[in-house]
Amino acid sequence: MPAKTDYAKLASEYGTPFYFLSKTEAKNRVREIKKRFPKNAKLCYAIKANAFLTAFLKDEDILFEVCSPGELSICEKIGMNPNKIVFSGVVKTLEDVKRAYALKVNTITLESKAHCEYLLEAAKSESQHKQQVILRLSGGNQFGMSEKDLAECISKIKKAPSIKIRGIHFFTGTQKKFKTISEEIPYIEDYCTHLKSDFGLENLEIEYGAGLPYDYFSNQDEKHNFSALEEFSKLIENSTFSYVIELGRYIASPCAKYVTKIIDVKGDEKNKYCLIDGGINHINYFGQMMGMKVPKIEHISQINAFSDAENYTIAGSLCTTADIVIRKIPLSAPTIEDLLVFNDIGAYSITEGIYLFLSHPLPAVLCDDNGEVSVLRKITETYTLNI
Ligand SMILES: Cc1ncc(COP(=O)(O)O)c(C=O)c1O
């Protein structure tokens, strides 16, 4: 980010609300994370957290976990080397698997016996190309396979000369506490050790979605707090297994801000409201139920008059009482046309919102590359999709 971004100028030029991504931040973030990785681990960006960052990161020496045909199309469109793609996703058709196979992606993830059959079918067509796979072990939900199904798939794949088992995939959730991670690692290593001996597999990597937590509501600048990652790295650094660590939120969170305009101010002595042109459809901080927790925001006032701060509720444009962004935040004389800048919005906000409700336009997405601003997406009307 430039030293002082002129959000008012950006707002008048591009309209509000908008997301403001930092390319430099995204690249730095990946480098800072890789610096703290142990030697036996490689980084994989789960692009679902923020697909826009994929283009910024495509030349980094990392893998990209791609979870749908649409995400695969993004990678193709930006010219990503297929050898960096882990084609994942719980729902895959034969066509999806054939497409990934034909593209020669680095790895295809198998989450069911059906996926395995699709891959065997796809692999029939070409014998020279050796396709790597990882098999996802279920954590007790619809994702991945039971131990029994997984063993069946391994037996079948071992007979297919054009498929190579790279490892086992395991992901159970996001914003994980270290305690959970420290229980999962020995569990999955023990499982893989048994698989190796049961099936005579020489190498077996562990592709692990660590779900590292990002604290959106702390008073500190979390961008510089790598304690969760450092603790995790220590846990795996002496392992005999090689790891691929899939991270989404932990990479993307600090890489974007969201700028929204105050459209109305009202209330009485008891309840004061700021109504904004955005809302919960654009803002998604994990763990923030009904605006009860306060993320880091900056108030950019039009009037420079000083007045004591009073508590306000920040509510959005969705015409539902659920659209409370922040229940209680002290603001000093908020006024129509003021801007609110939300920090750490980079993960799971830009692509995960309920964007069609009330036919509000999609926010613009701007990119800051060392002070140079470009438009990745203009404000886009959605009413045309609801007719
Ligand atoms: C398989 C897989 N890997 C990685 C991730 C990324 O998780 P996080 O954003 O917590 O890092 C997800 C998120 O849903 C996932 O499903």
Query: Over 70: is that where the pLDDT of 305 sits?
Result: no
CA of 251 to the centre of ligand 1 (A): 11
Q: Which two tokens stand for residue 69?
A: 């045909």
Mean of the per-residue pLDDT values of the chain: 95
- Tell me if 246 CB under 6 Å of ligand 1: yes
- Tell me if 144 CB under 6 Å of ligand 1: no
Cβ atoms of 143 and 169 within 8 Å: the answer is no
User: Helix, strand or coil for residue 12?
Assistant: helix
**Number of Cβ within a 10 Å radius of residue 73:** 12
Measuring CA to CA, which residue among 63, 31, 40 is closest to residue 233? 40
Mean pLDDT of 131-144: 97
Choice among 154-158, 237-241, 258-262, 301-305 with the minimum mean pLDDT: 301-305
CA of 43 to the centre of ligand 1 (A): 13
Query: Over 60: is that where the pLDDT of 97 sits?
Result: yes
Bridge partner residues of 332 (DSSP) = 309
Cα angle for residues 20, 21, 22 (degrees, 5° grid): 125
- Tell me if 25 CB under 6 Å of ligand 1: no
Mean pLDDT of 248-260: 98
Bridge partner residues of 348 (DSSP) = none
pTM for this model (two decimals): 0.96
> In angstroms, what CA-CA distances link 231 with 114, 220, 247, 353?
37, 19, 15, 32
- Strands 85-87, 63-66: pairing is parallel
The tens digit of pLDDT for each residue in 187-230 reads 999 999 999 999 999 999 999 999 999 999 998 999 999 999 99
- pLDDT given at position 2: 47
Mean pLDDT of 296-310: 87
Q: How many CA atoms, within 13 angstroms, populate the side-chain half-sphere of residue 207?
A: 26
Mean pLDDT of 146-163: 96
**Number of Cβ within a 10 Å radius of residue 247:** 26
Please tell us whether the domain made up of 36-247 is placed in CATH 3.20.20.10.
yes
Cβ atoms of 108 and 97 within 8 Å: the answer is yes
Where do the structural domains in the chain lie, given as residue ranges?
Answer: 7-18+256-385, 36-247
CATH number of this structure's domain 7-18+256-385, picked from the four choices 2.40.110.20, 1.10.3720.10, 2.40.37.10, 3.30.450.20: 2.40.37.10
Query: Over 80: is that where the pLDDT of 125 sits?
Result: no
